Structure 1
Amino acid sequence: MAIEAPIRTGILGCAEIARKLSRAISLSPNAALSAVASRSIDKAKAFAEANGFPPHAKIYGSYESLLDDPDIDAVYVPLPTSLHLHWAVLAAKKNKHLLLEKPVALNVSEFDVILEAVESSGVQLMDGTMWMHHPRTLTMKDFLSDADHFGQLKTVHSCFSSAADPAFLKNDIRVKPDLDGLGALGDLGWYCIR
């Protein structure tokens, strides 16, 4: 049985969520944490060091440089949603498979453009929406759809909340819709509307 080479993965950006994903990539038996890019080489170096990147991982001071690297097979894009269209399309054109953080686009039209780019380049696209792909979600759906337990559901009311300290309320991208394009609705609100 032939052993496949690991997927050499780069990360575009040093968002907080990328810390968790970089650890997951490093623990995966079929992926290799191979590069990180930021708009600042110093920030990328600090991110790689703080998150246990292997010594051979490449550090880039621009997203373009990482996308131009022929040794990178796939990229994880934890950038603000308002930047997904540009970087996802460019990554696809550079033949990089994509893992886009949620939400993948600001609207359906942008998502259609991203889909066209990945389809025409023959690369894969996956969203970073773990909850939707977790077996527990299907179990919940099946349980709630069981007419013997609940009858026919006509309405579901849901609420999502989280503790937010003053630093979060001042600095987090989810409270800055001008940066993200969707604010908290795009990042947290979909849990309720999904």
Structure 2
Amino acid sequence: MAETPVRFGILGCAGIAQKQSKAITLSPNSTLYAVGSRSLEKAKKFAAENGFPPSAKIYGSYEAVLDDPDVDVVYVPLPTSLHVQWAVLASKKKKHLLLEKPVALNVAEFDQIVEACEANGVQFMDGTMWMHHPRTAKMMEFLSDTERFGHLKTIHSFFSFAGDDNFLKNDIRVKPGLDGLGALGDAGWYCIRSILWATNYELPKTVTAHRGPVINEAGVILACGSSLQWEDGKTATFHCSFFTNLTTDITAVGTKGTLHVHDFIVPFEEKTASFSTISQIRFAERALPSQNVITTDLPQEVCMVSELSRLVKSIKEGGSKPESKWPSISRKTQLVLDAVKASIEKGFEPVQVGV
């Protein structure tokens, strides 16, 4: 007998939901089961355009998706300002959560989400897809190799893209009442996550925002950067922007080696992804970096959906407890993001990262 797939419901018809709908369809252990929008017609159109099976439930409200007893997981791609409301309600309805990033406007809001998840025994995962690509695990193998990489000393991360005039005026990511964290929440989230990933999720002691952020008339950050400092001397920097050429880079430097990756958020190719490493080279020596190519049958977003579905199935059928790693990683990312925002607001003074 074929195994029952994990059934996903989607709240809203945001652009990113199109990609995740495809991922749910391609994942071997999940299925598109329902979609809800504030407009029934919009939900019908979204389902028709994104490969929903004929049996899928189409609802004219978010509440109807949450009230459907056969929905196992809800994917929430709504504006950040709505996350705490709908994620908490979904948890109370015993729905497991795939929540888009940034997870909340601040860590206090996120803690409400986590408390609801824990109280109702549901799995939480945020939508940071690159974490699930097999390349990410291979890169960590290099960073953990004390013979080739040594000990991490500094990491630099960049995510920028050039938004056009329409984006800079009308996109939800520049609206204070929708995604009020702007570039810091949208692009900076990835940079902060990559830095924490490289440090094995050790929180920095202090964060100091760089001077000269770009902030629109509504008070939303359109470009910014920051430095991070650890008690043991490690440092990191990141820059995120809605103004400059598409760049998604990580450079991690250790005592014996260096890692470079130029497409860490979305690989240039769907089934292959690469990164370069170089070890123990002196200044006067010449050596080409080693190119490491990782192949995968499933795109990273499918890997993410498949992993979440595996966890949900284990909870439903095996009596397992929700995996605490994922909300913990999300919370640490939000803590650093909050500290960067606070440093900007305090005139670029160092801010201690909360716990």
TM exceeds 0.5? Answer: yes
Indicate conservation of the 8 Å contact 2:128/2:190, yes or no: no
1:133 aligned partner: 132
1:86 aligns with 2:85: yes
Q: Percent identity?
A: 74
SS of the residue corresponding to residue 118 of structure 1 reads helix
C-alpha RMSD of the superposition: 2.0
1:193 aligned partner: 192
Taking a change above 3 Å as real, the CA distance of residues 3 and 180 of structure 1, as seen in their structure-2 partners, is same
The structural deviation recorded for 1:174 is 1.8
SS of the residue corresponding to residue 154 of structure 2 reads coil
Alignment of 1:49-68 (within 5 A): 49-68=48-67
1:5 aligned partner: 4
Taking a change above 3 Å as real, the CA distance of residues 152 and 123 of structure 1, as seen in their structure-2 partners, is closer
Q: Which one has the largest radius of gyration?
A: 2
TM-score (norm 2): 0.50
Q: Deviations over 1:89-109 (max 9, x none)?
A: 100111111111112222222
Q: Deviations over 1:20-77 (max 9, x none)?
A: 0001111222111011111111111111111121111111111111111112111100
Specify every segment of 5 or more residues in structure 1 that has no aligned partner in the other structure, as ranges: none
1:116 aligned partner: 115
Indicate conservation of the 8 Å contact 1:9/1:75, yes or no: yes
Indicate conservation of the 8 Å contact 1:37/1:60, yes or no: yes
TM-score (norm 1): 0.88
Matched residue type, 1:68: D
The structural deviation recorded for 1:176 is 2.1
Taking a change above 3 Å as real, the CA distance of residues 28 and 142 of structure 1, as seen in their structure-2 partners, is closer
Indicate conservation of the 8 Å contact 1:145/1:153, yes or no: no
Taking a change above 3 Å as real, the CA distance of residues 150 and 73 of structure 1, as seen in their structure-2 partners, is closer
The structural deviation recorded for 1:185 is 1.2
Q: Which has the higher helix share?
A: 1
2:34 aligned partner: 35
Q: Kindly indicate whether structure 1 or structure 2 has the higher relative contact order, using CA contacts under 8 Å at least 6 residues apart.
A: 2
1:71 aligned partner: 70
SS of the residue corresponding to residue 98 of structure 1 reads strand
Query: In structure 2, how many angstroms separate the alpha carbons of the residues matched to 1:76 and 1:68?
Result: 14
SS of the residue corresponding to residue 109 of structure 1 reads helix
Alignment of 1:155-174 (within 5 A): 155-174=154-173
SS of the residue corresponding to residue 75 of structure 2 reads strand
Matched residue type, 1:39: R
